Chains A and B, each alone.
Chain A
């Protein structure tokens, strides 16, 4: 089945440790995105990437890093510099050309808890 997969669904880490969240898509989409969601809030954009080896910061990029070495993969690293890392993280992908449709497809999210 085509889709976007995030793993793991739940992740626990100790304060001060870096942690990497996985996001893989087999939809052949050009663009990929990472969002953060806090309880009762909307989604906030962390990073996005239009093509391989290129990415742009979103509204809340501080304390996060990403890579886009393959079209299918867009991992997010939550570094120890992120002051409040506990949150629900969502990955999405879409075509990046309007004529093919630009609706984004989301993964089911990773809930990160830092203790």
Chain B
């Protein structure tokens, strides 16, 4: 079973920041938080991951709370192309650990 809880859907206006929350209250010390997104009928695309520090790359920022029980993915200036299903996944770093997907959040960006 997925170890994360996400809202089923969210809306965002184009050009505004999209803040996608994720709860992972049972996360353990060696588990990372990963974010992927899936645009309709395509394979999922890796966005970002982190352990306990906030992370930023060219696509997004990841904010992890101090107790690590929740996180927020931030798309700073959402565009129509960011409309997708966003998956938050908790994964250990040991060998042989597969990604377990939940149902994710459907983000709809509108003009």
Contacts and interface: CB of A to CB of B under 8 A. Distances in A.
Interface of A: 31, 33, 35, 41-45, 48, 50, 56, 58, 88, 90, 92, 96-98, 102-109, 111
A83 B91 CA distance: 30
Contacts, number: 58
Contacts of A103: 34, 46, 49
Contact of A109 (B43, B49, B97): B43
Interface in B39-97: 41-46, 49, 87, 91, 93-97
B42 A58 contact: no
A111 B42 CA distance: 10
Interface residues of B, number: 24
Interface string B89-111: 00101111111111110000000
B58 to A, nearest CB: 14
Contact of A44 (B45, B49, B101): B101
Nearest to B93: A98
Q: 9 tightest A-B contacts by CB?
A: A106-B43, A98-B93, A43-B101, A42-B101, A103-B46, A50-B96, A42-B103, A48-B98, A106-B44
Contacts of A92: 43-44, 99
B100 to A, nearest CB: 7
